[in-house]
Every structure is written in structure tokens, then in C-alpha cells.
Structure 1
């Protein structure tokens, strides 16, 4: 093992066309007490990484290595060497506040996040607290496991937050990394899924995965929805999705960043007990439940691999809606 590693950092937050990512060499990090050093096998590219690079998510430290969907093997530290683990978005919580003690650690005011508060997986190695990594199967390809660690987990939490009834009708707005996994979970649970997205390729993928219909982002679904999840970071779609809900329906907004929401009309968008709610990160219990579910119901993961050396191109393709499914960085 060398003393230095290839990595990417957010050097100058700004529009992706200005090149906010910079390729560099960094010292291989050293794990502290209770931490593990992980050699990265694959790291999925998340829209949150794009928000960080472009400055929508303000950096909390300079020159941070992004990436929070990393699969790798422990080199040394608080877990046995060779253990295969997943390093996800939630990096630490205080464990003492009223949110942590009542099972809502995703709302902990002292929480920290991989690839934002600490260096993440756009690198050959990263360090993470052992209590916050997930043990993963040894036999599945790393590039298929990586998207489960954020796209999958946050989508799973959004599915809980939208209060989908058994056998219900779910609307999915936007159909990227998280949405294409969440739709499969809902279908496996017996839901009817209608997808609304501007991408023709994504509509085709949605139908291949079992969606009952797939239309444009602003289309009216063929039947009223019991629940909906907004994955696209587009506030203009909030009233569109609310208007598609049946009485008593719930819309969950899954993203960490959303453009401004237009003025809502109470009668059309909220009356008859329609609900609008946000989704904030996830708990470790969410992660464990989702990974257990996918072990029993393996999803089809649509992956576009990129070598680590092309991380800037992967992020630019994500920004330009040129990735069908999930972009995943692999060594190279």
C-alpha cells in the first residue's frame, strides 16, 4: 500500500461547466479509534455530490472529497481486515439528543455526513466510523451494491414517508438512481407504480422494470394516486404531484435540495387531507431494513460505470441527464 492515493476534491464550488472538481493526490488517511480504513472498490455518483460541487449544498470544509455510496474492503482498524463494507451518507450522530434516543437519529443536530463533513469515496481509500458502515455480501459485484447505499436507502425512507397503503397507487416523479430502485421495492410490495419523467430513456426503463405507466414529468397519471415521491429537485413539480393525489394522499420530497416551490392553491393542492412532507437523510435502521429487503428481493440496478479518473465527466453527465440509471466510479 502506497502513502498517497488518487482522489477528487471540490476545489471551486460552482456550475459543473466551470470544473468544480479537481483531480489530485492525497495522503492515504489513517483510521482513528473506532474507525476503519476502507479500500474503495466502487462508489456511486449521487445528485447530492452534484449539489455539493455546484454550491447548492454549501461546503462545510475546503477541498472535500465527495462520494457517499462506497463499497470496499477493510484494510485495518476496528473491523477485521478483508471485511466487505458499505460507507453511506450518514457518518455519525451524537447518540444523546432527544432525536437519537427516540429512534430519529437522521434529525440529530450534531450529525455528520460522508463526502460533506468528511472525505468520501471519490478516492482509492477512505476512513469511516465502524458503527456506521454496513456489512455487505462478499459475492455481489461492487458496482451493483454501491447504489444501494444512498439511492436505495433514501428511496426506501421516502417510501415509508409517503404512507403508501398496501396495494396502493404510487406516483414517482423523476426516474434516476434512487427512483428506479424505489419503484422496484414498491412493485415487489404489491403497489401499482406510475412514473412521470422528462427523459424518454428513463420512461422506457420504468416500463421495463414493471411500472404500470410512464409519462412526461408534468403529465397527469392515468388514475388518482394514493401516494407520490418527488425525486427530481424541481419545486415546480410539487403542485403538479399534489394535484395528482387522491383524497388523503401524501407527497414525500426525497431530495436534500429543491428549487423554490410555487404558491399552492389550498383547495386544489392540500384540501381533503392531502399531505406534503420532506425526507431528511436516513437512520441506520432504515439502511439495515432496506439491505435486508434487497437480499430477499434483489433489484435490477441499471449501472453506467466510469473509471475514477473520469469522475468529473460522470458528474457532468449526471447534471446533463445523460446517465440512465446510476453512474458508478470504479478504480482506474
Structure 2
């Protein structure tokens, strides 16, 4: 095991990440585990961190919260994982467990929560430290790169799908990493999927139709049928009135991103008729367990474009410009000597 490792570090908002070599992290806390990262998804939330849409919480940060890896080292209080275990780490890194939200089972709303890739270093690195109580065991099967998007795009999408209710006709605004996973889950549940994309994004529309969507078109188009619910993954506030207009009376619009541009004013008539507009905040460990148990039953198959760690800036740029089909993933390629043995 090498004493140093690589990491792509955000040192200044709005600037490219910098590749650094730094000492390998250690499991110093009772519940710590060191994870040798095998793959890390590139999420739009990473862009919000790097671009400064989310306020800086630490002087520097290693982004990444769709992490697949192998346990390399465990703290003294860790009994559920042993070195070599395949695990996943998601956005929620820790919660206090004592506040009112946590006591209600709403740890996703904990005011003292920590987050991988925002308040503590994430997976754009050879190795990282996580709290063993907030990571997930992963079965073998899908490749590391195919599994990584499940850890956020999949989990947040699953929570958004649950909060959308029993929608027979479901609209998905923004058909990227989360959209193409949610579509598969919704189809498995017997729902009809209507995909909304940028007007010129034929690749996303073709992917939606290939995954079973009954219709795919531009975000400002009126769908051929009234929707029961819609999920907005694109961080574009202007989509909210469009989605409200597309859903029936009593329907639900779910805003599934952690950041969104300002929502423009709209006539009350679009909300009237007992339409519901709500947000999704983070995720709970229950969400993770339920979705990761469900995914192989569907089965979820992710469409990914893989980049080496050194090209993380290119992956972020292409995501920012809408030039990723499905999900972008960083795949870790390093000499075998630097990997922890799997036992």
C-alpha cells in the first residue's frame, strides 16, 4: 500500500480542480473506515460545489459523493465491515442522531449533517475516509463504474419517485444520470414515462425512448397526455411553471436538486386545484438500503462515460455543457501495488 495518493482538489471557487499527491488518509476515529476508491460518479451537485452555487464549507475540498470502493482500514468500533468489503458512500456522510429531525427519522434534514464532497473530502481521490455507519454494503455484479451513479443519481431519484406518489403518468424533466435511472425504476413499477430535455438534445431523447419512455420532447413542449406527477432534475427554475402546467389537478411536482436557479413568478392558477410543489432534500440511509435492494431486481442498467481521475475537469466541463449521455464516472486506474489487498 502506497503512503501517498492522488486527489483532485477544489482550492478556489470557479477554478479547475488541481491534481495533488498527498499522504494517504487514516482511520483515526472510532467509526472511521478508509476506502480505496474504485470509481466515483460525477454529479451535478459537484458542479454546484466547484462553481460556488453552494456556499464553501471548508477552505479546500475533494468533490465526489457517488463512491464505490473497497474497505482498506477500519476504526476500533467498526464491526460491520472488514478490509476488502465492497462498499458505497453517498451524499449524506453523517448526521447528529439527536436533533428533532433525526429523532423523527428525517436525518436528511439534520441541521448538523455532513456531506461527502462538500463538508468532508469525497471520492475524486485514490482513497478517502468515511463513517462506517453511513456507508452501504454493495453486492458484486455491476462494474464499479456502472454502480457509481446508483449512489446519488439513483438514491435521490428513488426518494423523488417515492415523494411523487402513485403516478401512472410521470414526467421527468432533465434526462441525465438521475433521469435515466428513475425511468427504469418507474417503468418496472408500471408507470408511463414522459421525458423532457433540452430542445436540441436528441441523444437524451433517444436514450429515454430506448429505456421505454412513451414520449420524449423539449422541456417547453406540452406532453400528449396530462401528467399525474413530474420530477425536475434539471437545476432550472423556469421549469417549475412548465411542470405545474403539465400535471393534472391534484398532481405533484417534485424538485429533486440541491440547487436550482430562481423560480419565476407564475399565476396562482397553475398551483390551484390542489397541485403540490415540493422539494427533495438529501437522502436517508433507509432510502439507500431500499433502493440498493431494489436496483438488481429491476434490474437497473446505467449508461456511463468513464474518465480517468486526471480528467475530472473535462468530465465536469462536459456535464456543465450538457454533453454527457447518461452519467459521467471517474474510474480509478493505478498500479496494483497501490491497491489494498482484498481478503
Q: CA deviation at 1:20?
A: 2.9
Q: Secondary structure at the match of 2:259?
A: coil
**SS of aligned partner of 2:248:** strand
Q: Within 2, Cα distance between the matches of 1:181 and 1:205?
A: 11
Corresponding position: 1:73 with 2:70: yes
The total of aligned residue pairs comes to 325
Structure 1: segments with no counterpart, 5+ residues: none
Deviation, structure 1 residue 138: 2.5
Distance 1:161 1:138 in 2: 29
Show the counterpart of 1:278. 279
Does residue 1:51 correspond to 2:48, yes or no?
yes
What are the equivalent positions in structure 2 for 1:155-234 lying under 5 Å apart? Answer: 155-165=157-167, 168-198=168-198, 199-234=201-236
Matched residue, 1:312: 313
Aligned equivalent of 1:136: 138
Give the secondary structure class of the aligned counterpart of 2:216: strand
Aligned to 1:13: 13
Separation in 2 of the partners of 1:229 and 1:82? 37
2:32 is the alignment partner of 1:27:
no
Counterparts of 2:166 and 2:12, CA distance in 1: 41
Structure 1 position 59, deviation (Å): 1.4
Distance 2:94 2:113 in 1: 5
Q: SS of the residue aligned with 2:48?
A: helix
Match of 1:150 among 152, 171, 188: 152
Q: Distance in 1 between matches of 2:89 and 2:56?
A: 20
Q: Distance in 2 between the 1:204 and 1:307 partners?
A: 27
- Output aligned runs, 1:284-323, within 5 Å: 284-323=285-324
In the TM superposition, residue 298 of structure 1 has moved relative to its aligned partner by 1.6
Shift of 1:299: 1.2
CA offsets, 1:215-246, max 9 Å, x none? 01111111000000000000011000000010
Q: Which residue of 1 aligns with 2:33?
A: 36
Are the equivalent residues in 2 in contact too, given 1:164–1:170 (CA < 8 A)?
A: no
Deviates most, 26-35 or 127-136: 26-35
Q: CA deviation at 1:105?
A: 0.7
Which 4+ residue blocks in structure 1 deviate beyond 2 angstroms?
A: none
Query: Offset at 1:90?
Result: 0.4
Deviation by residue 1:83-108 (Cα, 9 ceiling, x = unmatched) = 00001100000111111111111001
The equivalences for 1:231-246 within 5 A come to 231-246=233-248
> TM-score, normalized by length of structure 2?
0.93
Question: Aligned equivalents of 2:299 and 2:146: distance in 1?
Answer: 10
Query: How many Å separate the matches in 1 of 2:104 and 2:250?
Result: 27
Asked if 1 retains the 8 angstrom alpha-carbon contact of 2:54 and 2:259, the reply is yes
For residues 273-319 of structure 1, give each alpha carbon's deviation from its aligned partner in whole angstroms, at most 9, with x where no partner exists. 00100100010000111111102112120000001111111011100
Deviation at 1:164, TM superposition (A): 3.0
Separation (CA, whole Å) in 2 of partners of 1:247 and 1:83: 48
TM-score norm. by structure 1 comes to: 0.96
Residue 53 of structure 1: CA displacement?
A: 0.4
- In 1, distance between residues paired with 2:135 and 2:124? 17
